[in-house]
Amino acid sequence: MHYYLTTNASRALDEISDNIDHVNVLRGNLWNEESKFDQEKDKAHFRDYDAACDRVKNFYKEQHEKQTVEFNIKARAAFNSKQQIRMSIWEAMEMLDTLIDESDPDTDLSQIEHLLQTAEAIRRDGKPEWMQVTGLVHDLGKLLFLFGSQGQWDVVGDTFVVGCKFSDKIIYPHTFEGNPDCQDPIYSTEHGIYEHHCGLDNVMLSWGHDEYLYHVLKNQSSLPDDALAMIRYHSFYPWHREGAYAHLMNEKDHKYLEAVRAFNPYDLYSKSDDSCDPAKLRPYYEKLIAKFFPPVLDW
């Protein structure tokens, strides 16, 4: 009799678990609901570049002067030809933990703290697992800084399109005066080397951690396309926050814009949240990582 009750109880628990899984699948359709964790935050204190320290201002001046078409072509060629480093997602997070982002006016925390803050904010709002793990990995492209970058200017900071006129919606737009592409008769025009509504897949964004990580993960994960768009465009603030580059977008880009805007609050406003304990959170996120990534990736 005892065995019979235990078996039935086990079946009941399995049924409940299946129902929960079904609800979670349905909740996956709610990834684009408005974020709730940040409702009480004073958002005026975030991305205040007027009040930014000299470290941030000097960073953007260097980035804007050096991110040329010529550099971007060479950077992509170097990525495609270099010997890969093999390691797990969590090993990559731990390796990145020594970096402080010189472009960020909102936090001096280590990168693993920021990754966990982002993922935990998404988790608290009940967003699907694929979005949680996207928050966890979204900045791992900053490993470029440890893989032989020329500085932080080709790794971090807001991204923008190269090969056409630099938008006045980019942070500190006057600092592009020292970029030689500003004087080029083609690169300095509105469309530059691109066709009208050609799609963002067909333009070059300034090389950095977003673009690098997108290329690392697009063939080494089971993340959905919306997650890959969140990774590729999360630093593309002139586009997803300021409305620039609409003349280059195609129909698919409007869908991706919704995804990036849904992700952005978790990336930006979680930086003021309480610190996270990596050791405590690691078991949960390692299980999540295993659902979407192989044990070891080529970096």
Confirm whether residue 282 is marked as ligand binding: no
Confirm whether residue 88 is marked as ligand binding: no
Amino acid at 190: E
Three-class SS state of 21: helix
Q: Report the phi/psi class of residue 197: left, alpha or beta, with left for phi > 0 and alpha for psi in -120 to 50.
A: left
The CA angle 34-35-37, to the nearest 5 degrees, is 155
Confirm whether residue 64 is marked as ligand binding: no
Confirm whether residue 272 is marked as ligand binding: no
Confirm whether residue 103 is marked as ligand binding: yes
Give the ranges where 82-110 is alpha helix by DSSP (H): 89-96
Confirm whether residue 94 is marked as ligand binding: no
Output the six-digit token pair for 221.
Answer: 């994960």
Confirm whether residue 97 is marked as ligand binding: no
**Are 140 and 116 in contact, with CB atoms under 8 Å apart?**
no
Confirm whether residue 14 is marked as ligand binding: no
Confirm whether residue 253 is marked as ligand binding: no
Q: CA-CA distances (angstroms) from residue 270 to 8, 116, 127, 228, 289?
A: 44, 9, 15, 20, 21
Q: Write the DSSP symbol of residue 215.
A: H
- Could you give the CA distance from residue 260 to residue 235 in angstroms, rounded to a whole number? 9
Confirm whether residue 191 is marked as ligand binding: no
Confirm whether residue 101 is marked as ligand binding: yes
Closest by CA to 232, choosing from 45, 8, 223, 151, is: 223
Confirm whether residue 65 is marked as ligand binding: no
Confirm whether residue 196 is marked as ligand binding: no
Binding residues for Fe cation: 114, 138-139, 209, 234, 267
Binding residues for substrate: 47, 101-103, 142, 157-158, 234-235
Binding residues: 47, 101-103, 114, 138-139, 142, 157-158, 209, 234-235, 267
